[in-house]
Amino acid sequence: MNYWLFFQTLINGLLLGGVYSLIGVGITLVFGVMKIVNFAAGAYLVWGMYFTWVWHQVTGWEAYALIPLVIISMIIFGYITFKLTIRQVLGSDFTTFILITVGLSFFLQNLSEVVFGTSPLAVTSATALYSLRLGTFVISVPRIIAFGGMLIFVAGIGILLNKTLLGRAMRATAENAEVSQMLGINTEKTFTIAFLFGIVMAGIAGLLVTPLFFVSANVAETFRLAPLVAVVLGGLGNIKGALIGGMLVGVIEGLVSTFISADIGVAAICILFLIVVYLFPLGLFGKGARKA
């Protein structure tokens, strides 16, 4: 075995897995509060990329400097789509949420093609071609920034949930929405905020990968399955699980694509998913519902 290639692939997979983790934490947050699996996260990531491209064209700024503008854009866009879709079916059964978020995923992906066209776009970045050398290993600077950005935003979510009144309201709603509403918590507002947090994290993930990918609706295919698998592997509703699951998926995908075939990287993720769910039905860090 080429050990240099193995460890180089391990590093690259771990760093890309950080992006999966960021999206996965957003999906986990939405599920924890609303009990909805957001299958449209990959499509929102694409819109984050397109908003980055739009603001880059307007301002000429480096992609990373556009984070505040992209956050605002994703909040507005996420709020509109939430009110027009998810809000209309709150209180419905789990199957309804699956159908509406899957439908929303394909709608948003096709809408981006209608608005921006099908030709790949690019966000020029001064860091796109930069890399660091650690001994014999080469690490892409944009991948490092994406991984670091993930850690910062996930840490921020942790502080929000544990140190703020909003976080307490979200945790209470996640525990029991009906009781929380009886205690005076505006659960509908909490649902909206939780969903927007998930959308913003997907949008930021889109911004962080613009130096690595061309801006195209097809990128949604790359990020549609892996973050969802990461969330289930870690345990639905478990932020630590989503964090670790994302990096695990990135590593497995990278190793299989490098040493076996790039065509079966996604298949390897699915096989990993089946194995883990068979051995750990609630995920690696999942817990059963608490009983009174």
pLDDT tens column, 65-113: 999 999 999 999 999 999 999 988 887 888 888 899 999 999 999 999 9
SS3 281: coil
How would residue 287 be classed by pLDDT, with cut points 50, 70 and 90?
Answer: low
C-alpha span between 32 and 231 (Å, rounded): 11
Of 223, 213, 218, 222, which is closest to residue 122 (Cα–Cα)?
213
- Residue 151 in contact with residue 18, Cβ under 8 Å? yes
| pLDDT over 70 (residue 292) | no
Provide the angle, in degrees to the nearest 10, between the axes of the packed helices 165-175 and 141-163. 80
C-alpha span between 84 and 267 (Å, rounded): 34
How would residue 18 be classed by pLDDT, with cut points 50, 70 and 90?
Answer: very high
Least confident of 23-27, 242-246, 266-270: 266-270
| The pLDDT of residue 291 | 41
Write down the residue that tokens 């996640």 correspond to.
174
| The pLDDT of residue 64 | 92
pLDDT mean over 274-286: 83
C-alpha span between 39 and 22 (Å, rounded): 15
C-alpha span between 229 and 281 (Å, rounded): 13
The model's pLDDT over 112-161, given as tens digits with 9 standing for 90+, comes to 999 999 899 989 888 877 888 887 888 889 999 999 999 999 999 989 98
Indicate the burial class of 114 (C-beta count within 10 angstroms; 0-12, 13-18, 19 or more): exposed
Q: Take residue 94 and report the two structure tokens written for it.
A: 């789990």
Q: Which residues pair with 133 in a beta bridge?
A: 138
Mean residue pLDDT of the chain comes to: 89
The model's pLDDT over 203-216, given as tens digits with 9 standing for 90+, comes to 999 999 998 889 99
Taking residue 43's Cβ as centre, other Cβ atoms within 10 Å add up to 27
* All structural domains of the chain with their residue ranges: 13-218
| The pLDDT of residue 289 | 47
SS3 134: strand
| pLDDT over 60 (residue 1) | no
| The pLDDT of residue 79 | 96
Region class of 174: left (phi > 0), else alpha (psi between -120 and 50), else beta? alpha
